[in-house]
Amino acid sequence: MIAGTRPINYLRISVTDRCNFRCRYCVPCKPFEELDHNQIARYEEILRITRIACELGITKVRITGGEPFARKGILNFLENLTVIDGLKDISVTTNGSLLTREKIDTLVTLGIKRLNFSLDTLDPVKFKTITGKDKFQTVWDMILLAHQKGIQPIKINAVVLNGLNDDEIVPLARLTRRYPFHIRFIEYMPIGETDIKEKQILSHEIKDRIENHLGPLQPVERTQNDGPAKKYRLEEAPGIIGLITPVSSHFCSDCNRLRLTSRGTLRPCLLNNYEKDILGPLRNNADDDQLKEIIRTALNKKPAAHNLSERCVGDIPISHMTSIGG
């Protein structure tokens, strides 16, 4: 599939808007209603949309939420996903708190060996402050277990906020000296209603702090399956440090992704409010050709670039992150 001059081969699928965490940068500051179950795409509906998208050129899928393991039947869904023709790469983003040894073993058996964990701190007390849950040790144990089971790469995503966890930049980066993890620092994106916009820290400051404490960062060459992170390595470190810069240095020209929200809408850009309903037509008996045309229509709306750093408050995306899928 093509959007403008960009080939699109990556579909991010949100299977649920539910999450057992309430991370401050993800959940809106005001109360919000979770979707009714009949408003969320059923697994068989997601599988059909994915199969059709693969016929159009999608080869890579990432499963997100909310928290994907909060949805019942997720492992059976993943098993069915692995047999779709043309799908070469399946990965999952999770907070890790609902994983178990048995679930990780199943993921390995299914051939799903790419996991992204969300972890913003190595301090259990701060972890509870950020997520609302006293689950740091569980998450850390699951990260180490996944590592022991041969899941690679393990990517750890950290959203850094000034005055909340910016003192975690160096300890998190230091993990790459001990483990072959990809520690990825993500610039906070002001999506939806939030009270922490003023806490944003941009990547140049994150990079400076790492180099001031741990030494120079050496650029790492990109590979075929790389996402948007600018990759670096500390000298002789087995792991990688990534900087994801949607605000300070957007990577729109290289964006190869389309999003399917848990509500069954196609979202060609995370930082744009345009969405195209595909679940409604599917439930109204649209055939495969009609659904393909809906996907093409959504891609034709993929903007050349976002202007997030220039927007006023009223222009920012209105959907909160748990409803989009990140």
> What CATH number corresponds to the domain at position 121?
3.20.20.70
Predicted confidence at residue 312, as pLDDT, reads: 44
Bridge pairing between strands 230-234 and 60-64 = unpaired
Predicted confidence at residue 43, as pLDDT, reads: 98
Report the phi/psi class of residue 73: left, alpha or beta, with left for phi > 0 and alpha for psi in -120 to 50.
left
Give the Cα separation of 198 and 191 in Å (integer). Answer: 13
**How many structural domains comprise the chain?**
1
Predicted confidence at residue 213, as pLDDT, reads: 98
The residue range of the domain holding 141 is 2-324
- Cβ-Cβ contacts under 8 Å for 109 (sequence gap 6 or more): none
Give the Cα separation of 279 and 87 in Å (integer). Answer: 21
Q: End-to-end CA distance of the chain, in Å?
A: 21
Going residue by residue through the chain (326 aa), what tens digit of pLDDT does each one get?
766 657 899 999 999 999 999 887 776 655 567 788 889 999 999 999 999 999 999 999 999 999 999 999 999 999 999 999 999 999 999 999 999 999 999 999 999 989 999 999 999 999 999 999 999 999 999 999 999 999 999 999 999 999 999 999 999 999 999 999 999 999 887 665 555 555 789 999 999 999 999 999 999 998 766 677 899 999 999 999 999 987 766 656 678 899 999 999 999 988 788 999 999 999 999 999 999 999 999 999 988 765 555 544 444 444 555 556 65
Q: Judge whether 42 and 214 are in contact, CB under 8 Å.
A: no
Residue whose entry in the numeric block shows the structure tokens 């051939």: 111
* Overall size of the chain counted in residues: 326
